[in-house]
Every structure is written in structure tokens, then in C-alpha cells.
Amino acid sequence: MRKLLTGAAVALPLAVLPAALIPAGSPALGAAPPRPDLAGLVTLKDVEAHLKAFQEIADYNGGNRASGGAGYDVSVRYVAGRLRKAGLTPKIQKFDYPFWRERSRAVLARTAPSKASYRLGRDFATLAYSGSGTVTARVIAVDVPPRGEGTSGCEKADFKGFKRGSIALVQRGTCTFAAKAANARAAGASAVVIYNKPGEKGLLNGTVNKPAGIPVVGTSRTAGVALAKAARTGGLALRVRTDTVHGKRRSSNVIADTGHGRADNVVLLGAHLDSVPAGAGINDNATGSAALLAIAAKINRLGKDGLRNRVRFAWWGAEEEGLRGSTHYVKSLPRADREKIAVALNFDMLGSRNGTRGVYDGDHSTRAGTRAPAGSGAIEKMFRDYFASRRLPTTEHVFSGRSDYGPFIEAGIPSGGMATGADGVKTAAEAKAFGGRAGQVYDPCYHAKCDRLKNVNRKLLGTNTDGIAHVTQHLARTTVAVNGGARLTVGVTSAGAPAWQGPYSLR
């Protein structure tokens, strides 16, 4: 955070000082007071106080803040209490979601043509909502491309001639894990192994969103490429074992609006509040939750003139269970209310220990991930321009579908935000720009017990929160650059991209 400059108290009012004694640069007599600077008002100490609270909540409630547990429920009450103290009125939105857990350690081993075991947590992981079972069977590589991302397993036709009972090996890319798993099961696969795509050196770890009925595991790029090569030559067999349970649980979102601002032009800031069961989730995602709390505590200082658009703060539940809270929120809104959301910002993991200063790729210049709705590029530019003004480097973080922006993009709402990296691997260029270690994952405690206070990069967290506060202040005053000033009915072009229909109400 930037430090606020303070001066000594002056006994005489400015109006009675001789002109020669009025400090240079002081506002003219009778001039309007300077506009508050939200990035200057919010301090790193504000954010850290909330991080410490979330850590304490986890320590005294089973070691985590996972949805469905006591740690999450206490986190909800903490957030609501701090919002009330800030003068906001929080609303608790409850919802049910599918529950899934592993009961024992998964197994992945090669049984032919030679034997080898793969290491859980390093070589492979069980995807959330994988089914249970123990399978030993032949492996068939399904439409695996020789290079690039490809569409492996995304179409039913990919499984033409697939031998029932075999294990399907597919590469990550283009469509969701859920779609790949569903197509494999429909073709008669007994299990699915999904390996990481080119450029992703970390372990593949994600969700198939609903119970898959068969074991589904993800592997690293290195392990997957070796399996694909062996499968092509024939005779590759694997043993896959998963032991899972699923059902229904209840969680909640916390929502709070500013009192000032146009109710028909809402700037929404969101962060998921839950952790994984393995730990306290301080970087993932107490950092995002704490940054929003710190900003919410100071937002009213912008006054009526600075809050021309309503600002809505949201803390999502059950993100780690498959974006459940944000998805429920968007789907539960009547269309008229969805169309009042001008901008949706998302903040997930703001202080990765070996991280980068990632800004979501709103203009799709990387040609990777999901193309965001029109106006998202303007949001990206706001963040990048701010950090450039402070000579702080940034990278483009793709909309990969792994966080709570997903439901908003699907609804055609311009989206943006920041993230500092999870299980991806830092490049040499990134290490030169941001420091840290090339060849190592961005967050060494991602989804692990060690994701505690010591796992947070304070420098990244501080400057990132500054950027969030700055962009929030700008959008609270005007969203003209994003959507002309007010979000209107969304149409769809022949290319499938949202088209904004005017006339616009400029402000």
C-alpha cells in the first residue's frame, strides 16, 4: 500500500495565514477538497488483520475453512460482522450444492508392459467429483494431438471404436473436464486419466462438477506424455483406484452493496471465502477475501460523488467444490437484475509466495483460455495502466475457467481481476521480472496444509490491493470505458461473442 503523507497540525486556519505562508500546491481558497484516494486509504495492515483472523478461525475450527464446516460458518459471521461495522448491510444467501470427498488415498500404477507407481500429489491427483472404483485395464489414448492443445475427448466421435471397459487417456484442453469424463463414460470407459496440456508443467487438478460415476484422475504433463506414447505402441495397462463419497451440503454467500450509486449500474467485486479441507487457505483465498473486506471498510469515504455507480461486494461459498456459490448467485438473479451488473471483478490468490502480478486477459491477446465479453479488455487496461504508472510489471492471466468469474462470463457480463498463480510453473522471464524461483510452482502450498500466514507474499498482496482499490474507485465513478455507462440487453453475434445494444447512457 502507498503511505499517506501527514503534516503537522496548524493552529491558525488557512484563511487567516498571510499569502506568503500558504504552502505551495495548497488548494485555492474556496476550492473543492481533493478527491479521496481509495488506494491510499487502504493499508496492508488492514488486509493483514483480516488474514490473521481467518487463520485463527481455521486453527480453532478443525484446521480449515472449507464449505460445510464450522470454519466456513465462522468465516461468514466474521465477514458479515466487519461489513456491519463498516456501515454496510450484508445479506447471507444460502444454497445447497453437491458434496464430494475422498475417503482414502487414490492409487495410479502402471501394470504393463512394465510396472511403476505414480506419486499422489506430485504425479497425479483425483479430480473433484470423481466416482469410486478399482480398475485394472488397457489404456486407449483418445484423439490425443501430437502437438498443441487439441480437442481430445471433447466430442463423442472421438471415442468411435473405443473398446468398452478400457481406461480413456485424454489431454486437457478446449472443453471442460466434465465434458471429457461424460463422453468417456458414455463410450464405456471404466476410468479416465486426463493429463496437462503443453505449457502447463504443474499437476493437473480440477473438478468434473458432478459425480462422474467412474474414477477420474489428472496427471502432470510429463507423466501424461509418457503414458500417451506407451498407449500408442499398445499393451499399456494401468491400475486406477479412487475411494470417494458424495451427497448434498449447504453453504452461503455474503453480499453487501454500498448505499450510494446507481442501482441499475452495479460494479461487483467477488472473492471466494472457502478453503479446501486440507488447510486454512490463507493465500487461497483469504487474501482475496481480506482485500475486499479492507476496501469495503473504506469505500464510503468516496462519498456520493465518488460512488455514482453502486459497488457490490461478494464472498462466494463452495468455490472449491466447483464454483457453486457464484454459479448459484448468477442463476438465481432475474434477468433484469443480471443486466444491472455492469462489471464483475474476481480476485483469487493475491499473494502467491512465488507468484506474479497477473491481470486477467480481458482482450484475449494471449489467444488462450476463454474469450471474455466485450468490455473486458478495458478492465484489463485499467489494471495494467495503474501498475505501469508505478513501474510495476504485470503478466496476462488467462480466463481458464478455474475461478468465480466463470458464471459471469457465461452471462455476458464484462469481467476482469487479478491472480498471482496456483499450481503453474514460473518461467525464467517471470522470475527476472518478479523475483522468485524459475521452474518452481507459483504457490508451493497450493491446496495444502501449509497454506498459512507464512505462505503469503506481502509485497504482491500489498500492491495488488492498491490496484484493486484504484480500479474500483474509477469504476465506481464511471463505467463508460467498459460499456458506455450502463449495461444493457445482451445479444449474441454470429461469432458467438456478446454484442452490446445501445443507445448508451453516458456518464
DSSP per-residue letters across 454-472: GGB-HHHHHHHHHHHHHHH
> How large is the angle between the packed helices 287-298 and 44-59, nearest 10 degrees?
130
Ranges 4-8, 141-145, 200-204, 353-357: which has the least confidence = 4-8
What is the b/e burial string over 106-116, where b = at least 16 CB atoms within 10 angstroms of the residue's CB? bbbebeeeeee
**Mean pLDDT within 273-295:** 97
Q: Which of 193, 242, 222 is nearest to 122 (CA)?
A: 222
Residue 70 lies in a domain: yes
319 is catalytic: yes
* Residue 316 in domain: yes
CA distances (Å), origin 216, targets 116, 154, 179, 193, 434: 19, 15, 12, 6, 36
- The answer to whether position 9 is within a domain reads no
| 15 in a structural domain | no
Give residue 396's pLDDT.
Answer: 97
pLDDT given for residue 9 in this prediction: 35
Instruction: Say whether both 458 and 479 belong to one domain.
Output: yes
Give domain status of residue 24, yes or no: no
Q: Are residues 184 and 113 part of one domain?
A: yes
Exposed, middle or buried: residue 497 (CB in 10 Å: 0-12, 13-18, 19+)? middle
For the record, the C-alpha cell of 489 comes out as: 440487453
Comparing C-alpha atoms, which of 92, 89, 118 is closest to residue 105? 118
Domain endpoint, select from 182, 211, 244: 244
Per-residue pLDDT band at 130 (split at 50, 70, 90): very high
Convert the pLDDT of each residue in 135-165 to its tens digit. 999 999 999 988 888 899 999 999 999 999 9
| Judgement on whether residues 291 and 356 belong to the same structural domain of the protein | yes
pLDDT grade for 33, boundaries at 50, 70 and 90: low
> What pTM does this model have?
0.76
Give the pLDDT of residue 29: 53
The answer to whether residues 206 and 238 belong to one domain is yes
If one compares 322 and 304, the residue with the highest pLDDT of the two is 304
Contact (Cβ atoms closer than 8 angstroms) between residue 320 and residue 272: yes
Query: Given a cut of 60, is residue 474 above it in pLDDT?
Result: yes
The CB-side HSE value for 29 (13 A sphere, CA atoms) comes to 8
Give the residue carrying C-alpha cell 438465481: 332
Residue from 241, 288, 304 nearest 403 by CA? 288
pLDDT at 209: 84
| pLDDT number for residue 471 | 98
List the single range of 78-87, 325-334, 498-507 with lowest mean pLDDT. 498-507
* Lookup: cell for 268: 461487483
Of 176, 209, 244, which marks where a domain is finished? 244
What are the C-alpha distances in Å from 422 to residues 323, 336, 452?
16, 35, 15
> What percent of the chain lies above the pLDDT cut of 90?
78
418 strand-pairing partners? 347, 359
Catalytic-role residue among 56, 200, 319, 321: 319
Which one, of 454, 451, 377, 383, lies nearest residue 419 by Cα?
383
Environment class of 432 (CB within 10 Å of its CB; exposed 0-12, middle 13-18, buried 19+)? exposed
Residue 172 lies in a domain: yes
Q: Using CA atoms, how far apart are residues 460 and 291, in angstroms rounded to an integer?
A: 12
Same domain, 437 and 380: yes
Based on the structure, what is the number of domains in the chain?
A: 2
Least confidently predicted of 142-151, 366-375, 376-385:
142-151
CATH of the domain at 160: 3.50.30.30
Cis bond leading into 407, ω under 30°? no
Confidence of residue 501 (pLDDT cuts 50, 70, 90): very low
The two beta strands, 91-112 and 237-257, are antiparallel
Q: Does residue 297 share a domain with residue 199?
A: no
Confidence of residue 234 (pLDDT cuts 50, 70, 90): confident
Is 23 a residue whose pLDDT tops 50? no
Cα–Cα distance, 385 to 374 (Å, whole number): 19
Task: Categorize the per-residue pLDDT at 45 as very low, low, confident or very high, splitting at 50, 70 and 90.
Answer: very high
- Boundary residue ending a domain (214, 244, 274): 244
Q: Any residues with CB less than 8 A from the CB of 319 and at least 6 apart, and which?
A: 272, 273, 274, 285, 325, 326, 348, 403, 404
Confidence of residue 210 (pLDDT cuts 50, 70, 90): confident
Q: Is the pLDDT of residue 10 over 80?
A: no
Which residues, in sequence order, are bridge partners of residue 92? 254
Inside any domain, residue 83: yes
Same domain, 129 and 104: yes
Rounded distance between C-alpha atoms, residue 78 and residue 50, angstroms: 9
Considering the domain architecture, whether residues 297 and 215 belong to the same structural domain is answered as no
Domain with 281 in it: what CATH number?
3.40.630.10
* Same domain membership, residue 436 and residue 296: yes
30 found inside a domain: no
Which residues form the domain of 110?
100-244
pLDDT band at 279 (very low <50, low <70, confident <90, very high): very high
Q: Are both 317 and 462 inside the same structural domain?
A: yes
Do 67 and 165 lie in a common domain?
no
Q: Are residues 324 and 386 in the same domain?
A: yes
